Amino acid sequence: MKKKVIVALLAAMALSVTACGDNTSEKKETTEETVGSADTEEKVAKTKATDWSYYYTDIDTSVDTDNKVENPLIDNEYVTIGDYKNLVIEKVTVQEVTDEVVENKLQEAMKSYTEREVEVTDRDTIQKGDIADINYVGTKDGEAFDGGSAEGYKLEIGSGTFIDGFEDGLIGVKKGETVNLPLTFPENYTSEDLAGKKVNFEVTVNGIYTKETEELTDELVKENTEYDSMEAYKAVIADELAAQNQSSAESQKQQEIWTALSTICNVKKYDEAQMKEYIIDYLEYQEKMVSTYYNGQTLDEYLESTEATKEDLKDTAVTYAKNMLMQKMYFNAIAEEEGLECTDEAFDKYVKQCMEEAGYEEEDKFWAYLEEQGYVLDEIKQTFRDNIQAQNVMQNLMDNVKEEETAEEEETKETEEKKTETKEAETDETETKETETKETAE
């Protein structure tokens, strides 16, 4: 597994240019340095709970972008950027919200009110698709193991909820019967004590049920939701889906813009102090996630359990730091060139939206919560400002990008145009024939 397990957590750390807030642009002259601020060294030098020095000592700060940038619009100490004002991407279309999709969403949302379990009375054996009410006790080497026993558990046969062989082993078993199922846990099972081990499940069938679906009506919707009818609920669902599709299209467009921008930019050098800062941020985040989701494990314990090495983690952290710093340098350079920066008004609006998303009404309590989570307020406020500036730059790029239709879209468009032309020609021909017939009759 090695680095794959570590890399899987990387996505959550990506710099977002859309989180918490709308794009707010203000043109001002900036006097701040693009990178390499004096605060960076101080932040890296702060005492941390964990010593990360191994990961940022002798790091690889070599430049690994070699794009040919002709006639650059920006050429500073750190980056070279080409004609970012005339980027070209494939046209991003917003997915249509169809009546069928809305209907399916409505049925899914109301499923708990339209579906009910009914006891099977015309047979006494379990079939695939049934819901079996069971008691079971799992043992390994004759001893019950943790989490392997339950009473009155409702199991849908064929759902794949339990390990292979459990559900299939109950097909054909009668109500009231007790069976023993000798099984083996998968080698990659989450519990090391059970992974690959042979066990036995003693299972008693208490009852057999099936699902019945009641027809969805306006009355059901009115009784169980805030809407008066199915149509009213559908309208809300359609609006939500449309907003989601619009957001997805916008995210896709931003990704396409970033990809296009990356091909006309070059990094000249990475600031080592900021590299260290990003490495520490990445490692602290990973340590927090590992502790949360792996029973309080330390990062070293987690690495050992996945057979990864500290060098693997170091490589991943350095790659992350380079990617983050590269994007920051590109965006900062464009922001300086365009006179885009985070205003106090934009910052206050961003904070309020973050507070709403986090469920806070009072700003003091919001900042106190972040401090409790281990954040340094000056650092998190600067992160907010960086995010706003990134949003401003992305909005600037989105306003100027040129979108070209794909070959498939052009072909579809041509096909539709031909259909329209054919239909119009047929209509003209029909009208001509009718006119000729009328004249002949006269």
**pLDDT tens sequence across 155-172:** 999 999 999 999 999 999
Q: For the residues 301-313, what does the mean pLDDT come to? A: 89
Q: Looking at residue 414, what is its pLDDT?
A: 64
Question: Mean pLDDT score of the chain, rounded to an integer?
Answer: 85
pLDDT band at 351 (very low <50, low <70, confident <90, very high): very high
pLDDT higher than threshold 70 for residue 333: yes
How many CB atoms neighbour CB 281 within 10 A?
A: 18
Give Cα 140 distance to the centre of its chain. 39
**pLDDT tens sequence across 42-66:** 444 443 458 899 999 999 888 876 7
Q: Looking at residue 36, what is its pLDDT?
A: 41
Q: What percent of the chain has pLDDT over 90?
A: 69
Secondary structure of residue 34 in the 3-state scheme: coil
**pLDDT tens sequence across 257-270:** 999 999 999 999 99
The identity of residue 361, as a single letter, is: E
Q: For the residues 338-352, what does the mean pLDDT come to? A: 94
Please name the residue ranges forming H helices in 162-271: 218-224, 230-262
Domain-wise residue ranges, the chain: 3-87+264-400, 114-213, 405-441
Q: For the residues 138-160, what does the mean pLDDT come to? A: 95
Q: List the one residue out of 41, 52, 40, 33 whose CA is nearest residue 286.
A: 52
CATH of domain 114-213: 3.10.50.40
pLDDT higher than threshold 90 for residue 375: no
Distance CA 400, CA 402 (A): 7
pLDDT band at 421 (very low <50, low <70, confident <90, very high): low
Q: List the one residue out of 205, 195, 164 whose CA is nearest residue 182.
A: 164
Q: For the residues 395-416, what does the mean pLDDT come to? A: 80
Q: Looking at residue 407, what is its pLDDT?
A: 66
